[in-house]
Amino acid sequence: MKFTHCCELLLAALLLAGVGAAPVQAGPLNVFVSIPPQRFFVEKIGGAHVHPAVMVPPGASPATYEPRPGQMVALSRAKIYFAVGVPFERTWLPRFQAANAHLLVVHTDGGISKIAMARTFRPGRAPSSGLSHTGVKDPHIWLSPPLVKIQARHIYRALAGADPDHAAQYKKNFTSFVAFLDRLDREIRATLAGLRRREFMVFHPAWGYFARTYGLRQLPVEIEGKDPKPEQLQKLIRYGRGHGITAIFVQPQFSAKSARTVAAAIGAKVISADPLAADWAANLRRQAARFAAALR
């Protein structure tokens, strides 16, 4: 579907929904989040009093996603939109607010100092100095439990402000969730303790905050979202052979062709590492175990 045609459908849907009408609150508080992991956070804090809908469905890319007409209709009735800083929000957040004049947009990445997105690893140089970076800030802040605590506070405050009748319950849930995040953080640290190596190879560099939190380093295969050229592939293969790389981690939102080429050449496994999995806590535990197994 072409972008202009999509916009026409969105406009028609919004006219049917009644653009700018104040959302009618009946039952749970209707809110939107950008990606599936955020729904996990909102459900932990909001409980039965909040109904979170996800804008970017599983398998879609939060870099290029275009909302569907039905989502815009639902959004016109929502009370809060929890943004997280993924690329598609730059284009669509103003449109969301235009579609719903009463929509509160909460930037859950507020107060988080973001790191630059790793561009590529330069084989032949030490991992500590072999990474180059783009000027783009890495949006994947939900993959570090300590940073999720900051996001959770934004969520709690917004829910309590929008629904003061249940503010006490939101505060209780928030406190429990923070304790849960601290326990998860300790579990992951224990899983990754005592590793002989600390560098893991990924196709897309989504795990920078996770790596920084737990003393690891990701070595990306891709170059600014593009597959590496043959010469660069050969350098990656030589590095993988020389440094005992046993696994290359890929995510389902990107092609794994180049990763599979490198993996086949060095005898490594290609392993899924989905940064957008809906079962957020279980996913982090699972990925920590996979990283540990690859690095031992």
Mean of per-residue pLDDT scores for the chain: 86
Domain with CATH 3.40.50.1980 in the chain: 3-111+142-184, 116-136+192-295
Provide the pLDDT confidence category of residue 8 given band limits of 50, 70 and 90.
Answer: very low
**Rounded Cα–Cα distance for residues 230 and 258 (Å):** 10
Contacts of 116 (CB under 8 A, 6+ apart): 133, 134, 135, 136, 137, 138
For domain 3-111+142-184, the CATH architecture is 3-Layer(aba) Sandwich (3.40)
What's the CATH code, domain 116-136+192-295? 3.40.50.1980
**Rounded Cα–Cα distance for residues 204 and 206 (Å):** 6
* pLDDT at residue 132 in the model: 45
CA distances (Å), 89 to each of 68, 92, 152, in order?
14, 5, 19
CA distances (Å), 146 to each of 153, 157, 178, in order?
12, 18, 9
Listed residue (181, 193, 90) closest to 144, CA to CA? 181
Q: Where do the H-state alpha helices sit in the chain? A: 3-17, 36-46, 69-75, 88-99, 145-162, 167-191, 208-213, 230-242, 257-266, 280-295
The separation between CA 183 and the C-alpha centre of its own chain, rounded to angstroms, equals 21
- Per-residue pLDDT, averaged over 95-105, amounts to 95
Residue 69: phi and psi, rounded to 5, are -55, -40
Between the two ends of the chain, the Cα-to-Cα distance in Å is 47
CA distances (Å), 127 to each of 43, 124, 199, 219, in order?
39, 9, 8, 8
pTM assigned to the model: 0.87
| Residue that the structure tokens 């072409």 belong to | 2
| Residue that the structure tokens 């505060």 belong to | 171
pLDDT tens string 127-179? 444 444 456 789 999 999 999 999 999 999 999 999 999 999 999 999 999 99
